[in-house]
Amino acid sequence: MERTLSRFEKSHGRTEVEIRKRILQAIFEQRLPPGEKITEEQLATTFDVSRTVVRQAMARLAQDGILVKSPNIGSTIAAPTKKEARDILAVRRMVEPDIVRILASAPSRQDLIVRLDQHLAREDEARYTKSRGTQVGLSGEFHLLLAEMAGNRILVRLMNQLQALTCLAILLYAGRDEACPPEEHSRIVRAIAEGDHAAAEKEMLSHLRHVEQDMNLERGVDTASFTASIEWLRGHATAANEKG
Ligand SMILES: [Zn+2]
């Protein structure tokens, strides 16, 4: 518990939304690994809020599949299986090319480009000066920024969920747990700047393919998640007891 507590800065009187954002940020920066146990009590102490507020934040994260609640274990950070990781990337391939197509067709896209270029500069800077957690966090933020710019709140919520689950899957399966290749983000931004929506879609699609390839999702046996393993063990023990 100490280990997890130290991953959040001590903060006071946070709202449900802020707590949820902090937990998501911790996942984006790979400070909260898949399978990590989280309790209401621990979060209430860390954020100095009532357990009711914490419960609301945790319920919403559970709805989005980012926290997994199990009767005997409590709440743990999701540990996507390989099949789930493939499904997450499949949804991202359906959604994100469309996001960049919308942005490349936007009449006011020069303003968007200024913000995107600023973000790319932050990604670059982090590569030389900041921790890997910050790099990975910023590279995920690029995808969230695109969704936010498309001006659709449902899409932003969906992308937060998909990005968090992708980060967890990367920690579990990627051979090298690096941030997105920087030149690929840059190519996407250039295509948006040129208003070339076909190129923007193509670049995003190939970028997401690379993210998936790095996870080696086709190889080997699917490793059951931590939570699933414990549940299986418990179920197995129960079945054995019943037989005995
Ligand atoms: Zn990326």
3-state helix, strand, coil split of the chain in percent (to 5) is: 70, 5, 25
Label residue 175 by pLDDT band (50, 70, 90).
low
If you measure from the C-alpha of residue 140 to the centroid of ligand 1, how many angstroms do you get, rounded to a whole number? 6
Confidence of residue 227 (pLDDT cuts 50, 70, 90): low
CA separation (Å) from 151 to 34, 100, 148, 157, 205? 30, 12, 5, 12, 21
Evaluate if residue 78 carries a pLDDT over 90.
yes
Distance 182 CA to ligand 1 centre (A): 8
Contact 110, 139 (CB under 8 A): no
**β-sheet bridge partners, residue 74:** 70
Instruction: Using the predicted structure, report yes or no on whether residue 2 has a pLDDT greater than 60.
Output: no
Exposed e or buried b for every residue in 145-175, given b needs 16+ CB within 10 A?
bbbbbbeeeebbebbbbbbbbbbbbbbbbbe
**162: CA distance to ligand 1 center in Å?**
12
Residue 161: per-residue pLDDT: 95
* pLDDT at res. 171: 87
pLDDT tens digit sequence for 100-122: 999 999 988 899 999 999 999 99
**Cα–ligand 1 centroid distance for 135 (angstroms):** 11
Which residue segments constitute the domains of the chain, with CATH numbers given? 2-77 (1.10.10.10), 82-214 (1.20.120.530)
Judging by beta carbons within 10 Å of its beta carbon (0-12, 13-18, 19+), is residue 41 exposed, middle or buried? Answer: exposed
Q: Which of 14-23, 37-46, 178-187, 192-201 has the highest mean pLDDT?
A: 192-201
Question: How confident is the prediction for the chain on average, in pLDDT?
Answer: 85
Cβ-based burial of 21 (10 A; exposed 0-12, middle 13-18, buried ≥19): middle
Per-residue confidence band for 232, with pLDDT thresholds at 50, 70 and 90: low
Strands (E), the chain: 37-38, 67-70, 74-77
Residues 6+ apart with CB under 8 A from 185: 120, 123, 139, 142, 207
Strands 37-38 and 67-70: unpaired
- 42: pLDDT strictly greater than 80: yes
pLDDT band of 128, cuts 50, 70, 90: confident
